[in-house]
Amino acid sequence: MQHLSHPHLLSVKDLNRLDLDLILRRAKDFSENFSPKTPVELLHGRVMATLFAEPSTRTRLSFERAMLALDGQVLSITGADSSLTKGETLEDTGRVLSQFADVIVARHPEHGSIQRIAQGATVPVINAGDGIGEHPSQAIQDLYTIKAHHSNLEGLVVGIVGDLKHGRTVHSLTQVLAQYRVSFVFISHPSLQMPRSLIAELEAQKIAVQETDDLRQAAASLDALYVTRVQRERFSDIETYEDLKLAYQVDINLIKLLKPSCSILHPLPRVGEIDPAIDGDKRALYFEQVRNGIFVRMALLALLCGDNL
């Protein structure tokens, strides 16, 4: 019987290196044996409840597809449809959903909200995004994609460009990659830099970190380039957003500066920061990331709520 070291997945801090390696192995197994028409009957009779109080396409659908691929069932609700609109607390919401499901997957715009749902829940809870906080399953999906492309993660130079201040995907990804001793180049406008607290954590772990606002200068040194959009929903001043949204663009000219082996990733959706003209380049892995999300989330669901694995 294999399980993760923590009963929930609320933060990548819940995962140690053994956990991550286990998830990656299970996801690889699922990817190699995946059949769209034949579910793996690991979670037969189990129910997953999804609560999304923020919009989602890839995360929500990949969790639901993953549960169906494990022969489980899905109950789904949005924040607008839930009793949260009537003032129900997040803790009570967690307890209520636990009466219907064996695992809860939740997204909410408030930082720390999913932890509060887990406080009330009596079943495993997976954080599918809490405001500007974290998005752990996305980080593992990205980790899996990078490893599949490069085989060995140790020693890679990973560039992360875009909205590093608000980007929960990059906050989580940075922390899981740090467990594999990569080096980072953080590329952003000065007003969208990675939080100082996260930089301090990396430096305490003796992880090499470089910060710059010049993507073209950094490009040739990178083994992987992770691109993020500037998040309009995090800005109160739309004029500021409009000024910053296309500060960095990955296009035909930019990819000429990258190594032939460099991987290009994006959590999606993209809103102009990656030119569709490069989609056919073998280094462009962002749609492969989407598919890999199914296998990673199959692994997470199986490890968190399966019995005989």
210-266, pLDDT tens digit by residue? 999 999 999 999 999 999 988 666 665 677 666 667 778 999 999 999 999 999 999
Dump pLDDT digits (tens) for 185-213.
999 988 889 999 999 999 999 999 999 99
Cβ atoms of 264 and 258 closer than 8 Å:
yes
Domain for residue 88, yes or no? yes
Q: Identify whether 26 is a catalytic site residue.
A: no
Identify the CA nearest to 274 among candidates 258, 290, 302, 254.
Answer: 254
Cβ atoms of 143 and 20 closer than 8 Å:
yes
Distance CA 288, CA 265 (A): 9
Q: Identify whether 216 is a catalytic site residue.
A: no
Q: Identify whether 266 is a catalytic site residue.
A: no
Q: Identify whether 86 is a catalytic site residue.
A: yes
Distance CA 26, CA 300 (A): 9
pTM of the model: 0.91
Domain extent at residue 225: 136-289
pLDDT surpasses 70 at 277: yes
Facing residues of 127 across strands? 106
Please enumerate in sequence order all residues whose Cβ is within 8 A of that of 239, keeping only pairs 6 or more positions apart, or say none: none
**Active-site annotation holder among 58, 181, 259, 291:** 58
**Active-site annotation holder among 135, 165, 166, 297:** 135
153 and 282: one domain?
yes
Q: How many domains does the chain have?
A: 2
Task: Give pLDDT, residue 309.
Answer: 42
Dump pLDDT digits (tens) for 58-114.
999 999 999 999 999 999 988 777 788 788 899 999 999 999 999 999 999 888 999
CA dist 112 → 115, 135, 162, 216 (Å):
5, 12, 23, 36
180 and 207: one domain?
yes
Domain for residue 4, yes or no? no
25 and 125: one domain?
yes
**Active-site annotation holder among 8, 26, 46, 107:** 107
In this prediction, residue 54 has a pLDDT band, given cuts at 50, 70 and 90, of confident
**Active-site annotation holder among 50, 59, 93, 228:** 59
Residue type, 59: T
Q: Identify whether 59 is a catalytic site residue.
A: yes
107 and 156: one domain?
no
